[in-house]
Amino acid sequence: MKLSPSLPIEKENTSLDPTDWASARCMAHQMLDSSLDYIQYVRDRPVWRAVPYDVRAVIEDEPIPKQGQPLATVCHDVINYVMPYARGNAHPRFWGWVSGEGTLGGIIGDMVSATLNVNACASTHSAAFVERTIIDWMRNLFNFPEESTGGLLVSGTSIATVISIATARQRVLVNVREDGLVNGQQLVAYVSTESHGCVVKAMELLGLGSKAVHLVPVDENFSIKIAELKTAIKDDRDKGLVPFCIVGNAGTVNTGAFDDLLELSKIARAENLWFHVDGAFGSFVILDPQRSHLVTGIDQADSLAFDFHKWLHCPYDVGCVLVRDSSLLHSTFSTNQGCLERTERGCSLDDRWFYHLGPELSRSFRALKVWFTLKEHGTVKLGQKIAENCEQAQYLVSLLEKYKNIIRIVYPVSLNIVNFRFEPEEFDKDDHELLESFNDELVVDIQMSGIALPSSSRIQNRRHIRIAIVSHRSTHEDFDIFMETLMKLYRSRVDAVVMARNGYD
Ligand X SMILES: *Cc1c(COP(=O)(O)O)cnc(C)c1O
C-alpha 406, offset from chain centre: 33
For residues 98 to 137, the per-residue mask of contacts with ligand X, x marking binding by CB under 6 A and - elsewhere, is x---------------------------------------
Question: Is residue 283 involved in binding ligand X (CB under 6 A)?
Answer: no
Does 196 bind ligand X (CB under 6 A)? Our answer is yes
Query: Which CB atom, from 168 or from 198, has the smaller least distance to ligand X?
Result: 198
Among 123, 157, 419, 457, binds ligand X (CB under 6 A): 157
Sheet-wide strand order for 303-307: 150-154, 319-323, 303-307, 274-278, 242-249, 187-192, 213-216
Site string for ligand X, 48-87 (x = CB under 6 A): ----------------------------------------
The nearer residue to ligand X, 123 or 283, going by C-beta atoms, is 283
Q: Which stretch binds ligand X (CB under 6 A): 222-230, 233-241, 274-282, 442-450?
A: 274-282
DSSP symbols for 184-227: ---EEEEEETTS-HHHHHHHHHTTS-GGGEEEE-B-TTS-B-HH
By CB under 6 A, tell whether 415 contacts ligand X: no
Nearer to ligand X, 284 or 372 (CB): 284
Task: For the CB of residue 496, give the shortest distance to ligand X in the complex, in Å.
Answer: 35
Strand 242-249 and strand 187-192: the pairing is parallel
Q: Report if residue 366 touches ligand X, rule: CB under 6 A.
A: no
Q: Which is nearer to ligand X, 135 or 304 (CB)?
A: 304
Half-sphere exposure at residue 16, Cβ-oriented, CA atoms within 13 angstroms: 3
Which ranges of 220-272 does DSSP label H, i.e. alpha helix?
A: 226-238, 261-271
Of all residues in the shown chain, the one whose CB is closest to ligand X is: 156
**Distance between CA atoms of 330 and 158, rounded to whole angstroms?**
20
Amino acid, res. 376: E
Q: Is 287 in the site for ligand X (CB under 6 A)?
A: no
Stretch in the footprint of ligand X (CB under 6 A) among 31-39, 44-52, 150-158, 469-477: 150-158
CA-wise closest residue to 192 among 251, 126, 130, 106 = 251
**CA 272 from centre of chain:** 30
Complete DSSP assignment for 378-440: HHHHHHHHHHHHHHHHHHHHHHHGGGTTTEEE-S---SSEEEEEE--TTS-TT-HHHHHHHHH
Cβ proximity to ligand X: between 157 and 414 the closer is 157
Per-residue x/- track, 291-310, ligand X (CB under 6 A)? ----------------x---
Binding mask 217-256 for ligand X (x = CB under 6 A): ----------------------------------xxx---
Judged by beta carbon, residue 103 or residue 157, the one nearer ligand X is 157
**Dihedral of alpha carbons 329, 331, 332, 338, sign:** positive
- C-beta separation of 481 from 493 below 8 A: no
- Nearest distance, CB of residue 384 and ligand X, angstroms: 21
Q: Which of 297, 315, 319, 358 binds ligand X (CB under 6 A)?
A: 319
Closer to ligand X by Cβ: residue 280 or 469: 280
Can you tell me the distance from the alpha carbon of 245 to that of 233, in angstroms, rounded to the nearest whole number?
10
How many Cβ atoms are within 10 Å of 8's Cβ, its own excluded? 5
- Give how many residues touch ligand X by CB under 6 A: 14
Indicate the residue among 138 and 198 with the shorter CB distance to ligand X: 198
Q: Name the phi and psi angles at 9, rounded to 5.
A: -85, 115
Indicate whether 89 belongs to the interface with ligand X (CB under 6 A).
no
Q: What is the DSSP letter of 110?
A: H
Which of residues 98 and 367 has its CB atom nearest to ligand X in the complex? 98
Closer to ligand X by CB, 385 or 435: give it: 385
The H or E element containing residue 128 is helix 126-141
Contacts with ligand X by CB under 6 A lie at 98, 156-158, 196, 198, 251-253, 278, 280-281, 307, 319
